[in-house]
Each structure stands twice: as C-alpha cells, then as structure tokens.
C-alpha cells in the first residue's frame, strides 16, 4: 500500500500541518503517547506546539513521549544530546511531566540491556499512538541506516560515515560526533498506531521518492513504512518534486 501524501506550499505550512495533527491528537485523547524526533526537521513543528500550548489550545500534562534515539556517550545535559534538544525546543516550554518524557540514556552501563528496557517501557505505556519521523538523505529513519531489517527492534547501532558527516554540523569538530547510538528499530516504529513523516527541501526529494515509490527493502529503510496502513508523508513542494502522481 502507498502512504497518504500531503504536499504543502512550503516548510512552514508543512510544519504547521504536523503540529495541528499532534495538537488534535492530544485534544482528542489527553493521554496520547507521542513518539518524537530530533534534528532540524521538527524544530518549527515544536515551535508551533509551544505556541498552541501558550494559547491554551493544548495540554501536555497527561501525555507521554518517547524519543526515537540518543547518542551513546553523551549525558542528557550535553548540548548535543537529544534529551537536551528536546528540553530546549519542547519539554521545558510546555507542561509535559518530566517523568513522562522518555529518551534513551546515552550513558547506560549496558546500552544493549537499556535498549531492551526501553522497548518494555514503550509496551508498558500501551504503545505509541502517534510517531513523528524525519528522513535522512539515505532514507534512514531514526538511526536505522540502510541495511536495517523491517523487524529490527530498539538496539545499539553504529552510525554510517555519511550520517556522521551530516550530523557534524551540530558539533565543533567531526571527531566529536559519537560513532554509535541507541535507536528504536523499524519494527518498533511500525507498531505505532499512526506515523507522520515530515520532509522538507529538495535535498530530501530523492529519499522521499524512493521510500514511497520503490519496492520496500532494507537498503531504503523508510520504504518499510509502506507496510503500515496509517502512514502520512507531509512534504513541502521541494521535497515532493520527484514524486509521480501523488
């Protein structure tokens, strides 16, 4: 099956579309379990969510969140950790209860055991209701790089050189970028009840096209989203410009 595709005029309207869907989910069910992403893509979406909270449109106090991934070796207060990112852009700006916001620990004594425990936390919360994703230039989702199985679970992964290079813009030096991470697996992501993938910019257009139009395979991790009946790709016009008739 092909995902639903929504093409918006620009990145701002695409971000607004996603924020509206997340806000509406929390309005309909204040106990919604959100799956959250980091990186440049969701920043404007989170700003809109903060605006909605300040306008008293949405309440996060009964919600729960699980982030997709975290660098191994970084503490939650490290400026480049994903926990720090989430606090900066969302958690500290709305009324989420801190104990209901889950991000993998980059300093777990046994990252492999921690990954198993993170899976259990998700299951104990009843699973993820709405998962937000971005997409990498090589069509990775979370840190599921090309070669990731559709059945993969939360686990320790080595980052590819291309991902390290892309993420080096957030660090002082490329040598400072961690080489491994804990990430939700594709199988974990596919268990979410609804999935929204947000992609913006012409540089993401080929990854988007391959993910939607090619036969699902391990080499195009986001293509496995075609197996899920509740996936929506929200794109700006630039990210959609290589699609066929969608």
User: Smallest Cα–Cα separation from 148: which of 106, 111, 189?
Assistant: 189
Q: Which of 17, 52, 69, 236 is an active site residue?
A: 69
User: What are the tokens at 170?
Assistant: 């957030």
Catalytic residue among 140, 144, 167, 236: 140
b/e burial code for range 181-204 (CB count within 10 A of at least 16 → b): bbbbbbbbbbbbbbbbbbbbeeeb
Residues 95/99/102/106 CA torsion (nearest 10 deg): 120
Verify whether residue 237 is a known catalytic residue.
no
**Active-site choice (70, 129, 138, 191):** 138
d(CA 52, CA 28): 15
Per DSSP, the chain holds a count of helices (H) and strands (E) of: 7, 10
Distance CA 159, CA 164 (A): 6
The owner of tokens 């070796």 is 73
List the catalytic residue out of 52, 145, 191, 236: 145
Burial 55-88 (b: 16+ CB within 10 A, else e): eeebbbeebbbbbbbbbbebebeeeebbbbbbbe
Active site residue 138: yes
User: Can 140 be counted among the known catalytic residues?
Assistant: yes
Tell me the CA distances in angstroms from 98 to 65, 101, 184, one per residue in order.
10, 5, 20
Whose tokens are 């990252």? That residue is 111
Q: Which of the residues are catalytic? A: 69, 138, 140, 145
């Amino acid at each position: 099956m092909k995902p639903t595709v929504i093409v918006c005029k620009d990145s701002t309207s695409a971000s607004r579309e996603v924020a509206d869907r997340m806000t509406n989910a929390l309005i309909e069910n204040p106990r919604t379990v959100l799956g959250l992403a980091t990186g440049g893509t969701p920043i404007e979406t989170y700003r809109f969510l903060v605006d909605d909270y300040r306008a008293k449109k949405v309440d996060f106090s009964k919600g729960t969140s699980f982030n997709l991934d975290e660098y191994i070796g970084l503490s939650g207060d490290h400026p480049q950790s994903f926990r720090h990112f989430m606090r900066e852009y969302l958690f500290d700006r709305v009324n989420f209860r801190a104990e209901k916001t889950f991000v993998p620990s980059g300093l777990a004594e046994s990252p492999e055991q921690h990954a198993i425990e993170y899976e259990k936390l998700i299951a104990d919360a009843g699973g993820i209701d709405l998962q937000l994703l971005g997409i990498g230039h090589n069509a990775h989702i979370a840190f599921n790089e090309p070669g990731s199985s559709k059945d993969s679970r939360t686990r320790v992964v080595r980052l590819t050189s291309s991902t390290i290079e892309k993420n080096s813009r957030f660090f002082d030096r490329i040598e400072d970028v961690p080489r491994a991470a804990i990430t939700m697996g594709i199988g974990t992501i596919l268990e979410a009840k609804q999935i929204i993938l947000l992609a913006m910019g012409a540089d993401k257009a080929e990854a988007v096209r391959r993910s939607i139009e090619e036969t699902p395979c391990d080499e195009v991790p986001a293509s496995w989203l075609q197996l899920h009946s509740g996936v929506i790709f929200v794109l700006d016009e630039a990210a959609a410009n290589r699609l066929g008739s969608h």
